[in-house]
């Protein structure tokens, strides 16, 4: 046997390239072909198939307020899965780049941290609720403890920006994959990033890498930040969609 007809790095590059192509086209196929449950017209989304985790209900949508705010009711059950151990229903630490968040406790005991302080709030104790400022890192959870029951919150984000899509998409994906735990991390990062929400548990440089690399790559292979099926309102077609349909114009 003589020498390979091509230098080793070219052979390696071709092998690596075809593997990458196969993998990404596989993902694209999978992501695009996935059958998604439609929640249009439904009252709420359970973020688990078993209905034993967190329930999301839009009280006032971004469309209702002309983009000024939107309000969601969150029912965080006693045993809900939490991003932090021992904190049922806790989200990963995060901040909203452009929105203030107003949390009212309707029932149960809320645990939360903002900055570094861990705090609690009871239903009825703080009638004005809690305001988390735009840019302030925070996480919420059910602090009822064992036998403490469910936690019911009403949360308003102001201004609405991308609206309830971030929460409805995370809930819908959780439902689709049986639990939020099973959703691809790439999908979750994309949805948070496009939802103008920064995960604060990772170093700033890592979040920059998410915005600069993960987001374009994920969208390039077919992931979407938000899926329109995961919306509890029957979406009325927007003017630009009608235009697209009538004239075949590209509205993007």
Which residues lie near ligand NAG (CB under 6 A)? 50, 52, 79
CB closer to ligand NAG, 80 vs 218 = 80
Among 249, 182, 179, 193, smallest CA distance to 226 is for 193
CB closer to ligand NAG, 38 vs 52 = 52
Count Cβ atoms below 10 Å from residue 4 Cβ, excluding itself.
9
Minimum Å distance from CB 6 to ligand NAG?
52
Rounded to whole angstroms, the Cα distance separating 135 from 154 reads 20
Q: What is the DSSP string of 35-79?
A: -----TT-SEEESSTTS-SEEEEEEE-TTTTTTS-EEEEEEE-TT
Minimum Å distance from CB 50 to ligand NAG?
3
Minimum Å distance from CB 51 to ligand NAG?
8
CB closer to ligand NAG, 42 vs 52 = 52
Residues in contact with 48: Cβ distance below 8 Å, sequence separation at least 6, in sequence order: 54, 81, 174, 175, 178, 179, 180
Asked if 145 contacts 85 with a C-beta cutoff of 8 angstroms, the reply is no
CB closer to ligand NAG, 4 vs 50 = 50
Minimum Å distance from CB 82 to ligand NAG?
10
Minimum Å distance from CB 52 to ligand NAG?
4
């Amino acid at each position: 046997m003589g020498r390979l007809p091509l230098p080793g790095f070219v052979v390696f590059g071709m092998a690596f390239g075809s593997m990458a192509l196969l993998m990404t086209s596989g993902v694209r196929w999978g992501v695009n072909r996935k059958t998604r449950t439609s929640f249009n017209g439904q009252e709420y989304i359970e973020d688990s198939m078993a209905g034993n985790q967190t329930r999301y209900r839009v009280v006032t949508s971004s469309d209702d307020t002309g983009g000024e705010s939107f309000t969601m009711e969150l029912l965080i059950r006693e045993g809900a899965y939490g991003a932090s151990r021992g904190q049922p229903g806790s989200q990963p630490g995060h901040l909203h780049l452009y929105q203030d968040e107003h949390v009212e406790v309707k029932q149960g005991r809320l645990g939360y941290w903002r900055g570094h302080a861990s705090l609690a709030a009871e239903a009825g104790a703080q009638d004005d609720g809690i305001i988390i400022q735009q840019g302030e890192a925070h996480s919420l959870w059910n602090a009822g403890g064992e036998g403490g029951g469910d936690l019911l919150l009403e949360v308003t984000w102001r201004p609405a920006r991308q609206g309830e899509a971030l929460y409805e998409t995370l809930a819908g994906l959780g439902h689709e994959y049986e639990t939020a735990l099973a959703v691809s991390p790439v999908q979750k990062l994309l949805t948070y990033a496009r939802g103008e929400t920064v995960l604060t548990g990772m170093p700033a440089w890592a979040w920059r890498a998410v915005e600069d690399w993960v987001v374009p790559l994920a969208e390039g292979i077919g992931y979407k930040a938000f899926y329109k099926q995961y919306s509890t309102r029957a979406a009325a077609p927007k003017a630009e969609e009608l235009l697209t349909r009538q004239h075949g114009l590209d509205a993007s």
